[in-house]
Amino acid sequence: MSTTFIHGGTVVSTTGAQPLDVLISDETIVAVIAPGSTVLGADLAASADHTIDATGRYVIPGGIDAHTHMEMPFGGTFASDTFETGTRAAAWGGTTTIIDFAVQNPGMRLQDTVAAWHEKAAGNCAVDYGFHQIIGGVDTDSLKAMSELVAEGITSFKLFMAYPGVFYSTDGQILQAMQFAAELGALMMMHAENGIAIDVLVEQALARGDTDPIFHGTSRAWQMEEEATHRAIMLAHLTKAPLYVVHVSAKQALEQIATARGNGQNVFAETCPQYLYLSLEEQLGAPGFEGAKWVCSTPLRPRAEGHQDELWRYIRTGDVTTVATDHCPFCMKDQKDMGVGNFAKIPNGIGSVEHRIDLMFQGVKDGKISLERWVDICCTTPARMFGMYPRKGIISPGADADIVIYDPNGHTSIGVEKTHHMNMDYSAYEGFEIDGHVDTVISRGRVIVDDGAYHGSRTHGSFVKRGLSQNLI
C-alpha cells in the first residue's frame, strides 16, 4: 500500500471551494479532511509515503473529455492522434479520462467494432478510457446488439443526421434506435445537422467556384443545425429517449434545447472550446488555404452573429451540460491539404484534448463562468452524464484518485512549439495565452505529470465500464 497526502490546497467542487487536504491510498481517495486534522491520530504529512504541497493552488477532479476520436477513419485518412499520443496529450492538459467513439460502418457488427476499438486502446492509453458506440447502420442486428453493449458498459449510442452515404440515418432509423434506447435506459447522442440539404448547398457552392475553407462554414448554415436539432428533440419526445446533442455551435440550436429542457425533457447540450473562442470570420476565413486548420462539423459560427457570447450564457444557465472537445485532429500536410481547391474534401476535425481545462479556466478568469461551473462542466457532470459517478468526477472518499493541481496564478502559452503534445503539425489555438497552469496530474493515484515533466506510461490507462446516465430526471 502506498499513500499520498496533498495538503495546503483549495479543493474545488460543483458547490464551492474550501481549504481541504486529501489522502490517497494506492488508486483511491480515502480521506478529505480539514487542514491540520489527523486520521486515526496519524500525522499525515509525516506518515504518508509521498506529500504534495498544493499551497496557493486549486485541487480539482481529473478532467473528463466525453468526446474524442482517436485514430478515427474519416475522409480517406485517419485522425492523426493514436490512443497513445492522444491520451498522453490529454494527461498533459489535466484530462484523466476520455470517452472515445467506436465506429460502425454499414455492414459491420456492433460487437466487432467494439472489439476493434478495445484492441486499439488496450495497453496504449496514458489515462482511463471508455467508449460510446456510433451506429452507422441501423438495422435489426444493430438494435439487438445495443442491449449487449449496455451490459458491457457501453451505455451511449451516437447517430448522425449528417454525412449521407457514410454515417447518415433516416428519421425512421433514428426513431427505431431511440425506441430501443428508451427501453434500455441508454443515452442517445446526436450529430444534428440536416445532411441532405447541406449536400445540396455544398454542391451549389462548388459549382459557383466557391472552393475555399470558409465555404465549409457557410454551406453548413445555422438553419441546418437548428432544424436538425429540433427534429431530434421531437423524435426523442415521442420515444421518451434521453437525448444528448453533441458539439452544438449555433445559438439557435441551443435555444431549441433550452426550450425542451424548460418543458422538462431529458435533452442535453454539449459544446466545445472551438465554438466559444474561434469564429468563421477570423479562422475559417483566414487567407488562402489557412482556414482549413479550423474545418470541423458543426462549423465555427460568425462572431458578428453573437453565437460565442450566447454559448457562454447557456453554459451559465446550465442549458449547456458539458464541454468536450470533439478531438479529431488532422495535420495540414498530407491530410487537410487533401481539400485544396475543394473544401468538401478537407477532413473535418480540430485537435483540443490538451487544452480544454486551460481554455475553460480562462473563462473563469474572464468572468464568463464561475470556478464551480468550470469543475462542473469539465469534470463532475460528464461523470454523471455518462455513468461514471461517483467513481470519477469528484474528490471524495471512495472515488478514484484522479486529481489535478491547478495554479490559478500560473501561465500557459499555447503553441505548437511551446506546450503542444498532440500529434499535429499546427495548433488550432496558436498564440493563446492562458492565465492558469496545470501543475500536477494524478491518475488513479499515480502522478503522471508534474513540474513540467511527464511521468506516465502508455499502459497505465484502463477501460471504464460505465453505468447508465445519472443525470436524467
The pLDDT assigned to 108 comes to: 86
Query: Binning pLDDT at 50, 70 and 90, where does residue 97 land?
Result: very high
Query: Binning pLDDT at 50, 70 and 90, where does residue 473 land?
Result: confident
- Encode pLDDT of 178-188 as tens digits: 999 999 999 99
CA distance 4 to 26: 8
The pLDDT assigned to 1 comes to: 81
Say whether domain 62-385 belongs to CATH 3.40.50.300: no
Q: Which amino acid is at 154?
A: I
Q: Which three cell numbers stand for residue 59?
A: 485541487
The pLDDT assigned to 222 comes to: 98
Alpha-carbon distances of 372 from 13, 15, 188, 252, 375, rounded to whole Å? 6, 6, 27, 26, 5
Share of the chain above pLDDT 90, in %: 93
The pLDDT assigned to 417 comes to: 87
The pLDDT assigned to 131 comes to: 98
* Average pLDDT for 259-263: 98
Neighbours of 208 (CB within 10 A): 9
Mean per-residue pLDDT over the chain, rounded: 96
**Strand stretches in 16-118, DSSP E:** 16-19, 21-25, 28-33, 50-53, 58-61, 63-68, 73-74, 77-78, 95-103
- Encode pLDDT of 19-55 as tens digits: 999 999 999 999 999 998 877 666 777 788 999 999 9
Rg (CA), the chain: 22
Cell 453533441 sits on residue? 246
* Matching fold, domains 3-60+394-415+434-454 and 62-385: no
Contact 32, 397 (CB under 8 A): yes
Edge-to-edge strand ranges of the sheet holding 28-33: 28-33, 21-25, 3-7, 50-53
Whole-model pTM? 0.97
The pLDDT assigned to 40 comes to: 64
Say whether domain 3-60+394-415+434-454 belongs to CATH 3.20.20.70: no
The pLDDT assigned to 421 comes to: 96
The pLDDT assigned to 380 comes to: 98
Q: Indicate the DSSP class of residue 46.
A: H
- Encode pLDDT of 203-241 as tens digits: 999 999 999 999 999 999 999 999 999 999 999 999 999
CA distance 95 to 378: 9
Domain edges within the chain: 3-60+394-415+434-454, 62-385
Q: Which three cell numbers stand for residue 220?
A: 453548413
The pLDDT assigned to 221 comes to: 98
For residue 400, is pLDDT > 70? yes
Contact 108, 102 (CB under 8 A): no
CA distance 133 to 119: 15
